[in-house]
């Protein structure tokens, strides 16, 4: 069964519909590739999916080990390369609040789970992933 249906709507834009929930995402080509940059680009979504996956798996690990990462945020930066045009590097800064409640063991679980998330494991090995943990 399909996960989503993606339609090209013209003007370098698409609309993806998540078939189970009906949730919608629009994309636009980035300004450096003939687009208007008015929505996420497909490569923005890949980078954001990595951060979202990391946060989700970190949350699973936190729940399993009895601590919380509620309020954790990820700032995502995409670095593109040419020839071929591709994502060269994804830089993610994870900001974990209330970290004084997290001991070394909890921090280790957080960091290992983030780096082993399914999206990270699915990206091409040449795509550099720079992950920074900021315990606040």
Could you tell me if 24 and 46 lie in one domain? no
Among 29-33, 98-102, 103-107, 111-115, where is mean pLDDT lowest? Answer: 98-102
pTM above 0.75, yes or no: yes
Task: Give the phi and the psi of residue 69 in degrees, each rounded to 5.
Answer: -120, 20
- pLDDT at position 125, please? 95
Q: Are 12 and 67 members of one domain?
A: no
CATH number where 123 lies: 3.30.300.20
119: tokens are 């999206």
pLDDT tens-place string over residues 30-76: 999 999 999 999 999 999 999 999 999 999 999 999 999 999 999 99
- Please check whether residues 25 and 46 belong to one and the same domain: no
Residue 2 burial (CB count, 10 A): 6
pLDDT score, position 123:
97
Total domains in the chain come to 2
């Amino acid at each position: 069964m399909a996960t989503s249906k993606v339609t090209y709507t013209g003007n370098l834009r698409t609309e993806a519909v998540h078939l189970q929930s009906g949730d919608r995402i629009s994309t636009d080509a980035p300004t450096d590739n003939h687009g208007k940059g008015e929505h996420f680009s497909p490569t923005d979504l890949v980078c954001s999916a990595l951060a979202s996956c990391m946060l989700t798996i970190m949350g699973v690990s936190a729940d399993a080990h009895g601590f919380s990462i509620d309020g954790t945020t990820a700032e995502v930066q995409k670095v593109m390369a040419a020839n071929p045009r591709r994502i060269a590097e994804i830089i993610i800064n994870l900001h974990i609040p209330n970290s004084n409640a997290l001991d070394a063991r909890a921090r280790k679980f957080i960091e290992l789970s983030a780096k082993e998330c399914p999206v990270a494991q699915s990206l091409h090995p040449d795509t550099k992933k720079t992950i920074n943990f900021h315990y606040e």
